[in-house]
Amino acid sequence: MNEAARADSNDMHTTQHRLAYAIVLTLGLVWIYLSADKNAASLTGTTAAPQVGFLAPDFSLPTASGETIRLSDLRGQAVLVNLWATWCPPCRAEMPAIEKVYNEYKEEGLVVLAVNMTYQDTASAVMPFAQEHGLTFPILLDESAIVGRAYQLRSLPSSFFITREGIVNEVVIGGPMSEALLRTRVEEILK
């Protein structure tokens, strides 16, 4: 093969390599565009499960009194999301401690959202339970497992301590939580 033919062959291989790189780059950019999080769900708290250091999954539920509460509307306040049921002995045992800590810290910006797993419970048992225990924080009704699924409920009670910025600071699965543990966790999210 003469020198001119070799040069043409090298130029052709270089052109083919550049074309292949351009195609791969274009396909990569198309993939990035198509798989992008266009709704910013990963930034708005709608991740699949609550993880320490990430935004808490957002939800909106009715309270036992008919009001609707959305977690993301509470940014700027420290939030304890407690998943519970009236039939759950550890849930029943920790409610007085949650109420006491709530009353101590609510003026500093603590909000407690007691999310009753109504799809596993009896809705008619919720208000008598709250009255019996003198609960003054909002009790939300999760009738269709919205929060149960979003928070990947594995055990009752489950508690999620959320900072003023909406970030999950601590997850406590099981219970009952002691008053001392609650106070320590609440003071962390109030900072």
Would you tell me the crossing angle of helices 89-105 and 123-133 to the nearest 10 degrees?
50
pLDDT confidence band for 73 (50 / 70 / 90)? very high
pTM check: above 0.85 = no
What pLDDT, on the 0 to 100 scale, is given for residue 23? 84
CA distance 64 to 50: 24
**R_g (Cα) of the chain, nearest Å:** 26
Chain segment 109-166, per-residue pLDDT in tens? 999 999 999 999 988 999 999 999 999 999 999 999 999 999 998 889 999 999 999 9
pLDDT confidence band for 38 (50 / 70 / 90)? very low
Mean pLDDT of the chain: 86
Q: Give the CATH class of 60-190.
A: alpha beta
Neighbours of 117 (CB within 10 A): 23
CA distance 17 to 28: 16
Please give the C-alpha separations between residue 179 and each of 95, 100, 125, 134, in angstroms, as whole numbers.
10, 8, 25, 16
Please tell me the least confidently modeled range out of 2-6, 54-58, 81-85, 141-145.
Answer: 2-6
pLDDT at 7 over 70: no
Interval 93-119 mean pLDDT: 96
- Give the rounded percent of residues in the chain with a pLDDT score beyond 90: 66
Neighbours of 52 (CB within 10 A): 11
Q: What number of helices (H) and strands (E) belong to the chain?
A: 5, 7
What pLDDT, on the 0 to 100 scale, is given for residue 42? 47
Neighbours of 99 (CB within 10 A): 18
Joined tokens for residue 160 = 């999620």
pLDDT at 43 over 50: no
What pLDDT, on the 0 to 100 scale, is given for residue 176? 93
Please give the C-alpha separations between residue 64 and each of 99, 131, 151, 182, in angstroms, as whole numbers.
17, 12, 20, 24
